[in-house]
Amino acid sequence: MTTRFFWIVYGLLFMAAGCRGETVEQVERARTFEAGRAAYAYAGSVVIEPVAVAWPKLRNLRRSNFKGTMVYLHGCDGINALSLQAADIFASAGYLVLMPDSFARLDKPVSCRPAAFQGSLHRDVLAWRQGEAEEAVRRAKTLDAVDPARIVLYGLSEGAIAVATYTGEAVRARIVEGWTCHAGWDEYRGLHASASEAVLTITSENDPWFQQAPLRGDCGQFLGNLTSLRRSVVFRPPHPAASSHDVLWNLDARRIVADFLSAAFSSNHE
Protein backbone atom coordinates (compact mmCIF):
# COMPACT_ATOMS: atom_id res chain seq x y z
CA MET A 1 0.00 0.00 0.00
CA THR A 2 1.54 3.34 -1.00
CA THR A 3 1.68 6.15 1.55
CA ARG A 4 -0.72 8.30 -0.49
CA PHE A 5 -3.23 5.46 -0.87
CA PHE A 6 -2.99 4.66 2.84
CA TRP A 7 -3.90 8.20 3.86
CA ILE A 8 -6.80 8.27 1.40
CA VAL A 9 -8.19 5.04 2.87
CA TYR A 10 -7.50 6.18 6.43
CA GLY A 11 -9.25 9.47 5.77
CA LEU A 12 -12.31 7.66 4.44
CA LEU A 13 -12.26 5.43 7.51
CA PHE A 14 -12.13 8.50 9.75
CA MET A 15 -15.11 10.09 8.00
CA ALA A 16 -17.11 6.86 8.11
CA ALA A 17 -16.42 6.46 11.81
CA GLY A 18 -17.54 10.01 12.46
CA CYS A 19 -20.79 9.46 10.62
CA ARG A 20 -21.56 6.48 12.89
CA GLY A 21 -20.56 8.29 16.06
CA GLU A 22 -17.50 6.05 16.51
CA THR A 23 -13.83 6.85 16.89
CA VAL A 24 -11.29 5.50 14.43
CA GLU A 25 -9.91 3.33 17.23
CA GLN A 26 -13.33 1.76 17.78
CA VAL A 27 -13.55 0.98 14.08
CA GLU A 28 -10.04 -0.47 14.07
CA ARG A 29 -10.79 -2.67 17.09
CA ALA A 30 -13.90 -3.99 15.37
CA ARG A 31 -11.80 -4.73 12.29
CA THR A 32 -9.32 -6.81 14.33
CA PHE A 33 -12.16 -8.91 15.71
CA GLU A 34 -14.08 -9.43 12.50
CA ALA A 35 -10.90 -10.29 10.55
CA GLY A 36 -9.71 -12.63 13.31
CA ARG A 37 -10.15 -16.39 13.61
CA ALA A 38 -12.60 -18.60 15.42
CA ALA A 39 -11.74 -22.18 16.31
CA TYR A 40 -14.24 -24.72 17.60
CA ALA A 41 -15.11 -28.38 17.43
CA TYR A 42 -18.03 -29.17 15.16
CA ALA A 43 -19.32 -32.52 13.90
CA GLY A 44 -16.28 -34.33 15.25
CA SER A 45 -13.53 -32.10 13.83
CA VAL A 46 -11.93 -28.74 14.59
CA VAL A 47 -12.95 -25.82 12.41
CA ILE A 48 -10.67 -22.76 12.18
CA GLU A 49 -12.12 -19.99 10.05
CA PRO A 50 -12.51 -16.21 9.90
CA VAL A 51 -14.74 -14.82 12.65
CA ALA A 52 -16.95 -13.18 10.03
CA VAL A 53 -17.61 -16.62 8.53
CA ALA A 54 -18.03 -18.42 11.84
CA TRP A 55 -20.28 -15.89 13.57
CA PRO A 56 -23.63 -16.86 11.96
CA LYS A 57 -22.90 -20.52 12.80
CA LEU A 58 -21.88 -19.72 16.36
CA ARG A 59 -25.16 -17.87 16.88
CA ASN A 60 -26.96 -21.17 16.37
CA LEU A 61 -24.92 -23.11 18.93
CA ARG A 62 -25.77 -23.55 22.58
CA ARG A 63 -23.75 -22.98 25.73
CA SER A 64 -23.54 -26.72 26.28
CA ASN A 65 -21.42 -27.03 23.14
CA PHE A 66 -18.33 -25.60 24.88
CA LYS A 67 -16.41 -25.99 28.15
CA GLY A 68 -15.72 -22.28 28.02
CA THR A 69 -14.52 -19.50 25.74
CA MET A 70 -10.93 -18.41 25.18
CA VAL A 71 -9.93 -15.04 23.75
CA TYR A 72 -6.40 -15.66 22.44
CA LEU A 73 -4.03 -12.75 21.76
CA HIS A 74 -1.25 -13.58 19.29
CA GLY A 75 2.35 -12.42 19.53
CA CYS A 76 3.95 -9.39 17.91
CA ASP A 77 4.25 -10.99 14.47
CA GLY A 78 0.55 -11.80 14.12
CA ILE A 79 -1.52 -14.92 13.68
CA ASN A 80 1.00 -17.56 12.68
CA ALA A 81 1.57 -21.31 12.98
CA LEU A 82 1.96 -21.04 16.77
CA SER A 83 -1.35 -19.22 17.09
CA LEU A 84 -3.18 -21.72 14.91
CA GLN A 85 -1.62 -24.65 16.78
CA ALA A 86 -2.82 -23.18 20.08
CA ALA A 87 -6.29 -22.63 18.62
CA ASP A 88 -6.40 -26.25 17.50
CA ILE A 89 -5.25 -27.53 20.91
CA PHE A 90 -7.90 -25.61 22.85
CA ALA A 91 -10.71 -26.15 20.35
CA SER A 92 -9.94 -29.89 20.44
CA ALA A 93 -10.24 -29.71 24.24
CA GLY A 94 -13.75 -28.30 23.94
CA TYR A 95 -13.23 -24.54 24.05
CA LEU A 96 -14.49 -21.89 21.69
CA VAL A 97 -11.39 -19.90 20.70
CA LEU A 98 -11.67 -16.33 19.40
CA MET A 99 -8.46 -14.83 18.07
CA PRO A 100 -8.40 -11.12 17.11
CA ASP A 101 -5.99 -10.20 14.32
CA SER A 102 -4.09 -7.05 15.28
CA PHE A 103 -2.62 -6.91 11.79
CA ALA A 104 -6.06 -6.22 10.33
CA ARG A 105 -5.63 -2.59 11.40
CA LEU A 106 -5.13 -0.14 8.56
CA ASP A 107 -2.43 1.55 10.61
CA LYS A 108 -0.14 -1.12 12.11
CA PRO A 109 3.43 -0.02 12.84
CA VAL A 110 6.09 -2.68 13.32
CA SER A 111 6.40 -3.52 17.01
CA CYS A 112 9.12 -6.19 16.95
CA ARG A 113 11.84 -7.97 15.01
CA PRO A 114 11.47 -11.64 15.93
CA ALA A 115 14.66 -12.79 14.22
CA ALA A 116 16.65 -10.51 16.52
CA PHE A 117 14.48 -11.12 19.64
CA GLN A 118 13.81 -7.40 19.65
CA GLY A 119 10.56 -5.88 20.89
CA SER A 120 9.45 -2.49 22.20
CA LEU A 121 9.48 -0.84 18.77
CA HIS A 122 5.98 0.62 19.16
CA ARG A 123 5.17 1.54 22.75
CA ASP A 124 1.51 2.41 22.10
CA VAL A 125 0.77 -1.08 20.79
CA LEU A 126 -0.01 -2.23 24.33
CA ALA A 127 -3.11 -0.03 24.61
CA TRP A 128 -4.19 -1.21 21.16
CA ARG A 129 -3.89 -4.88 22.14
CA GLN A 130 -5.75 -4.31 25.40
CA GLY A 131 -8.56 -2.68 23.42
CA GLU A 132 -8.65 -5.59 20.98
CA ALA A 133 -8.98 -7.99 23.90
CA GLU A 134 -11.88 -6.05 25.37
CA GLU A 135 -13.62 -5.89 21.99
CA ALA A 136 -13.37 -9.66 21.67
CA VAL A 137 -14.61 -10.29 25.21
CA ARG A 138 -17.53 -7.92 24.70
CA ARG A 139 -18.49 -9.52 21.38
CA ALA A 140 -18.15 -13.03 22.84
CA LYS A 141 -20.64 -12.18 25.57
CA THR A 142 -23.31 -11.47 22.95
CA LEU A 143 -23.39 -15.15 21.93
CA ASP A 144 -25.83 -17.51 23.61
CA ALA A 145 -23.15 -20.18 23.28
CA VAL A 146 -20.82 -18.22 25.56
CA ASP A 147 -21.13 -18.37 29.34
CA PRO A 148 -19.83 -14.95 30.47
CA ALA A 149 -18.61 -16.57 33.70
CA ARG A 150 -16.39 -18.97 31.74
CA ILE A 151 -14.20 -16.69 29.62
CA VAL A 152 -10.42 -16.91 29.75
CA LEU A 153 -7.91 -14.49 28.26
CA TYR A 154 -4.79 -16.17 26.87
CA GLY A 155 -1.83 -14.24 25.51
CA LEU A 156 1.53 -15.16 24.02
CA SER A 157 4.47 -12.73 24.11
CA GLU A 158 3.17 -9.26 23.15
CA GLY A 159 -0.32 -10.70 23.56
CA ALA A 160 0.70 -11.91 27.04
CA ILE A 161 1.68 -8.39 28.06
CA ALA A 162 -1.77 -7.20 27.05
CA VAL A 163 -3.41 -10.05 28.99
CA ALA A 164 -1.33 -9.34 32.10
CA THR A 165 -2.17 -5.62 32.09
CA TYR A 166 -5.76 -5.83 30.82
CA THR A 167 -8.34 -3.86 32.83
CA GLY A 168 -11.39 -4.25 30.59
CA GLU A 169 -14.55 -6.36 30.80
CA ALA A 170 -14.50 -9.07 33.44
CA VAL A 171 -13.10 -12.52 32.65
CA ARG A 172 -12.83 -15.67 34.75
CA ALA A 173 -9.16 -16.37 34.18
CA ARG A 174 -5.96 -15.20 32.50
CA ILE A 175 -3.06 -17.20 31.08
CA VAL A 176 0.18 -15.35 30.38
CA GLU A 177 2.66 -17.28 28.22
CA GLY A 178 6.09 -15.94 27.38
CA TRP A 179 6.20 -12.81 29.55
CA THR A 180 7.94 -11.95 32.81
CA CYS A 181 5.77 -9.04 34.04
CA HIS A 182 8.98 -6.98 34.33
CA ALA A 183 9.66 -4.01 32.05
CA GLY A 184 11.25 -0.60 31.83
CA TRP A 185 7.96 1.05 30.90
CA ASP A 186 5.55 1.38 33.84
CA GLU A 187 2.41 0.50 31.87
CA TYR A 188 3.99 -2.79 30.75
CA ARG A 189 4.92 -3.89 34.27
CA GLY A 190 2.97 -6.10 36.66
CA LEU A 191 -0.38 -7.89 36.69
CA HIS A 192 -3.75 -6.16 36.85
CA ALA A 193 -6.01 -9.15 37.52
CA SER A 194 -8.74 -8.71 40.10
CA ALA A 195 -8.89 -10.90 43.19
CA SER A 196 -11.76 -12.89 41.64
CA GLU A 197 -9.73 -13.94 38.58
CA ALA A 198 -7.66 -17.08 38.32
CA VAL A 199 -4.19 -16.41 36.86
CA LEU A 200 -1.51 -18.66 35.38
CA THR A 201 1.77 -17.23 34.18
CA ILE A 202 4.19 -19.52 32.42
CA THR A 203 7.65 -18.68 31.12
CA SER A 204 11.23 -19.95 30.85
CA GLU A 205 14.29 -18.89 32.76
CA ASN A 206 16.46 -18.55 29.64
CA ASP A 207 13.89 -17.09 27.27
CA PRO A 208 16.08 -15.26 24.69
CA TRP A 209 13.64 -12.33 24.54
CA PHE A 210 14.12 -11.44 28.20
CA GLN A 211 17.83 -11.50 28.94
CA GLN A 212 18.19 -7.76 29.53
CA ALA A 213 18.10 -6.72 33.19
CA PRO A 214 14.79 -4.76 33.15
CA LEU A 215 12.98 -7.75 31.62
CA ARG A 216 14.39 -10.61 33.67
CA GLY A 217 12.36 -12.41 36.33
CA ASP A 218 8.87 -13.81 36.44
CA CYS A 219 5.34 -12.78 37.40
CA GLY A 220 5.28 -14.56 40.76
CA GLN A 221 5.85 -11.46 42.89
CA PHE A 222 2.73 -9.85 41.40
CA LEU A 223 0.41 -12.77 42.21
CA GLY A 224 0.27 -12.54 46.00
CA ASN A 225 -0.36 -15.85 47.74
CA LEU A 226 0.27 -18.64 45.25
CA THR A 227 -2.46 -21.27 44.97
CA SER A 228 -3.78 -23.62 42.29
CA LEU A 229 -5.67 -20.60 40.94
CA ARG A 230 -2.78 -18.12 41.17
CA ARG A 231 0.26 -19.82 39.69
CA SER A 232 3.62 -18.72 38.35
CA VAL A 233 5.45 -21.48 36.46
CA VAL A 234 9.05 -21.02 35.34
CA PHE A 235 10.78 -23.74 33.37
CA ARG A 236 14.42 -23.92 34.46
CA PRO A 237 17.35 -26.06 33.25
CA PRO A 238 17.49 -28.96 32.62
CA HIS A 239 13.85 -28.82 31.57
CA PRO A 240 13.62 -28.97 27.73
CA ALA A 241 11.52 -25.77 27.65
CA ALA A 242 13.97 -23.78 29.78
CA SER A 243 15.23 -21.73 26.81
CA SER A 244 11.95 -21.38 24.93
CA HIS A 245 9.83 -18.28 24.38
CA ASP A 246 6.67 -20.17 23.53
CA VAL A 247 6.15 -23.30 25.60
CA LEU A 248 2.84 -24.83 24.55
CA TRP A 249 4.70 -27.32 22.33
CA ASN A 250 5.88 -28.97 25.55
CA LEU A 251 3.63 -31.65 27.08
CA ASP A 252 4.36 -30.46 30.62
CA ALA A 253 3.19 -26.98 29.69
CA ARG A 254 0.03 -28.33 28.08
CA ARG A 255 -0.76 -30.38 31.18
CA ILE A 256 -0.21 -27.36 33.45
CA VAL A 257 -2.53 -25.23 31.32
CA ALA A 258 -5.19 -27.96 31.14
CA ASP A 259 -5.10 -28.50 34.92
CA PHE A 260 -5.31 -24.77 35.54
CA LEU A 261 -8.32 -24.35 33.27
CA SER A 262 -10.05 -27.28 34.91
CA ALA A 263 -9.45 -25.76 38.35
CA ALA A 264 -10.49 -22.29 37.26
CA PHE A 265 -13.78 -23.40 35.75
CA SER A 266 -14.67 -25.80 38.58
CA SER A 267 -13.94 -23.32 41.39
CA ASN A 268 -16.24 -20.87 43.13
CA HIS A 269 -13.26 -18.58 43.67
CA GLU A 270 -14.51 -15.06 44.43
233 in Cβ contact with 256 (< 8 Å): yes
Q: Which residue type occupies 39?
A: A
For residues 212 and 64, what is the distance between their CA atoms, to the nearest angstrom?
Answer: 46
37 by DSSP, 3-state: which? Answer: strand
For 205-252, how does the pLDDT look when each residue is reduced to its tens digit (9 = 90+)?
999 999 999 999 999 999 988 999 999 999 999 999 999 999 999 999
Question: Which pLDDT value is given to residue 269?
Answer: 52
What Å distances lie between residue 120 and 59, 109, 142, 210, 240, CA to CA?
38, 11, 34, 12, 27
For residues 86 and 106, what is the distance between their CA atoms, to the nearest angstrom?
Answer: 26
**173-177 sheet: strands from edge to edge:** 45-50, 37-42, 95-99, 68-73, 151-156, 173-177, 198-204, 230-235
For 132-148, how does the pLDDT look when each residue is reduced to its tens digit (9 = 90+)?
999 999 999 999 999 99
The model's pTM is: 0.92
For 157-209, how does the pLDDT look when each residue is reduced to its tens digit (9 = 90+)?
999 999 999 999 999 999 999 999 999 999 999 999 999 999 999 999 999 99
* 106, pLDDT greater than 80: yes
